[in-house]
Structure 1
Amino acid sequence: MTRDRVWPWVACSAAGPALFGTFYTATHHLPASPVWTSVYRVVPAAVALLVWRPVLPAGPWWRRSLILGGLNFAAFFVLQAVAAHRLPGGIVAIVIACQSMLVPVLAVALLGERVRLFQVAAAALGVMGVALLVEGATTGLDWIGLVAAAGAAFSAATGFTLTKKWGLPPHVGPVTATGWQLFGGAALLVLAAFLVEGTPPGLDAAGVLAVAWVSLGATALAFSLLFTGLHKLPSAAGVSVLALTAPLVAALLGWAAGERLSGLQWVGMAVIAGAVVAGQRAQRGRASTQDVAGAAHGVTSVRGATR
């Protein structure tokens, strides 16, 4: 795949995790109930995408949407919230960042993808960068929190890889398919929320605004961008490294809000940025079927990505 065709889709994919990073600036306005917080994040996002493209799944896509929604949204968000309540944020960030090292393994096993050594090295380098970025915030361990964080990383990596493996049904774009996943995740989350946490907590005005942003911006738009790039680019392992932009953006937003970053943390940010760029080298190695078709149809390819 040529460089001029790769980088627009890489930028599209990277914008998704960058939007994820804004989630942490809104967390103090959200309720402390991890499952209901996940419901508030996923349900409006699912509704927005299904209203935007009111197409329902057919055949095996009902089952696939439920599985992918459970992995990418329901399990991941709840486990991430549990880990965040029991561990320092730095530990959670490091463990969840390890998903970028799990995806290459799953890509080989489930996709038959040829993963190169430099891709694994880039992912490992990115995790090291996250460790530097959160230095000083990694004290205090809780085994339940560690298991939850590891489960979140594995759930996200598995859902990500299966999203690539199953692709898209005919005449359906990535945004529509993302809405199906969100709908499946929302159904599981609502059921779990009532069973585990009872009635939903209330929201004040700031909470409503926070929910509006994290559901529409940091979830619906973010995952639509990420999965669009995932379906367009040939290497799932390469796209997974882009998830490391989330802690990078979160740190930059904290710095913009007045938080002080040490020299070591700035080095960590540079390491993450280098790892993200290095991880995309494989995207130029081979073209996917969708990209070949896109080259023939020009602008039509780009429009199809927003369906």
Structure 2
Amino acid sequence: MEATFRWTLVTATAPIAWGTTYFVTHQFLPSGYPLYGAAIRALPAGLLLLLLSGRLPHGPWWWRSLVLGTLNMSAFFALVYLAAQLLPTSVASTIMATSPVVMMLLAWPMLAERPRIAHLAAAGIGIAGVCLLLFTGTAAADPLGVLASVAAMVMSSFGYVLAKRWTTGAGTLASTSWQLVAGGLVLLPFAVALEGPPPALDGPAILGFGYVTVVATALAFAAWFAGLRHLPAATVGLVGLLNPVTGVLLGTMIAAEALTARQLCGLALVLLGILLGQPAAARLAALTLTRGRDRGRSWVRGRPSEPAGEDGSGLSRRGPEDGGRSPARPGATPRG
């Protein structure tokens, strides 16, 4: 249990770091260059991890890196940027919050990880919390933006489950670096063809890219894939709900605004959903459900599951209806 908790904390650093990229991107990074921004984010991060791991792809990892890099990095970054341009943050984040459910459903046939009722309930609670935290119901939803957000969510969920299935034969740092390098290389020709020369970077932009590259990409994806290696996909997906929570809390702290009662309720529901998604909590909930079901079956059959007597002898205490007398013990003299 202690190891599970430790890996949960490691995994949590990823969505927390990702939640800070909204502020850094809007405040410091050049706008209008989504492909260059994604490539500058992915490629240096991959090269840094490649230097730390000291391992090149081998065997099937040459094409696996290309597939995973496209699903989890290049196409995902581009679709998320498009959704952010066309949708309010509340709508895009709410759509992305359904990722835990999709990961559970994909992990069932791909990893033989059957979703538990506790995990599904936790996902429902977490999604409800995100809706309370972000969604106001007044924002318009562009159909193309919704399509881009849904595609990014499904694509990344599939890519994460696929990475969990494939990364048994490679180290976490190595496989993460290969994905990032492949994703960055896929993005570069599209960036040159569609966006022309790369953007000019001033001091704040360089520092912003440094943070996004090292912390929100290299460190975050290494922690995320390490969590996928050691934890069920359902648990990792639920931990990902910390992403919108971090964005809201950071925005509130910067704007010096207090959270509303609705947002506080949403925050509590998200944290409750993440807690219920932990393996220990899921096992406890499943055990409680099983005991309750078995007890109900025993009552239906006319055989209560509790012992008939407090001392386990099968004799029950007499109540007021028999005058308060206890049954006679063998060998005892009846009192007249």
Indicate the TM-score class for this superposition, using the shorter chain for normalisation: 0.7 to 0.9
Residues 1:16 and 2:47 aligned together: no
In 2, Cα distance between the equivalents of 1:57 and 1:149? 31
Q: Which residue of 1 aligns with 2:213?
A: 215
How many residues are aligned here? 280
In 2, Cα distance between the equivalents of 1:266 and 1:153? 26
Counterpart mapping for 1:292-303 below 5 A: none
List gaps (5 residues or longer) in structure 2: 284-336
Q: Which residue of 2 aligns with 1:226?
A: 224
* Structure 1 pair 138–149 and aligned structure 2 pair: CA distance change class (3 A): farther
Counterpart mapping for 1:237-252 below 5 A: 237-252=234-249
The answer to whether the 8 Å contact 2:275/2:281 transfers is: no
Q: Which residue of 1 aligns with 2:155?
A: 155
In 2, Cα distance between the equivalents of 1:36 and 1:129? 34
Please say which of residues 186-195 and 69-78 is displaced more in the overlay. Answer: 186-195
* 1:259 Cα deviation from its structure 2 partner: 3.6
Q: Which residue of 2 aligns with 1:113?
A: 113
Q: Which has the higher contact order (CA 8 A, sep 6+)?
A: 1
Q: Report the aligned-residue RMSD.
A: 1.5
* 1:192 Cα deviation from its structure 2 partner: 1.9
* 1:196 Cα deviation from its structure 2 partner: 2.2
List gaps (5 residues or longer) in structure 1: 286-307
Normalising by structure 1, what TM-score? 0.87
* Structure 1 pair 54–240 and aligned structure 2 pair: CA distance change class (3 A): same
* 1:161 Cα deviation from its structure 2 partner: 0.4
* 1:135 Cα deviation from its structure 2 partner: 3.1
Counterpart mapping for 1:27-46 below 5 A: 27-28=25-26, 29-32=28-31, 33-46=33-46
Computing the radius of gyration from Cα coordinates, the structure with the larger value is: 2
Counterpart mapping for 1:186-225 below 5 A: 186-225=184-223
In 1, Cα distance between the equivalents of 2:52 and 2:279? 34
Q: Which residue of 2 aligns with 1:180?
A: 178
Q: Which residue of 2 aligns with 1:7?
A: 5
* Structure 1 pair 66–259 and aligned structure 2 pair: CA distance change class (3 A): farther
Amino acid paired to 1:244 = L
Which structure 1 residue ranges, 4+ long, deviate > 4 Å from structure 2? Answer: 282-285
Amino acid paired to 1:192 = F
Please say which of residues 191-200 and 21-30 is displaced more in the overlay. Answer: 191-200
Amino acid paired to 1:118 = A
In 2, Cα distance between the equivalents of 1:138 and 1:161? 34
Counterpart mapping for 1:270-281 below 5 A: 270-281=268-279
Please say which of residues 184-193 and 218-227 is displaced more in the overlay. Answer: 184-193
Identity of aligned residues (%): 37
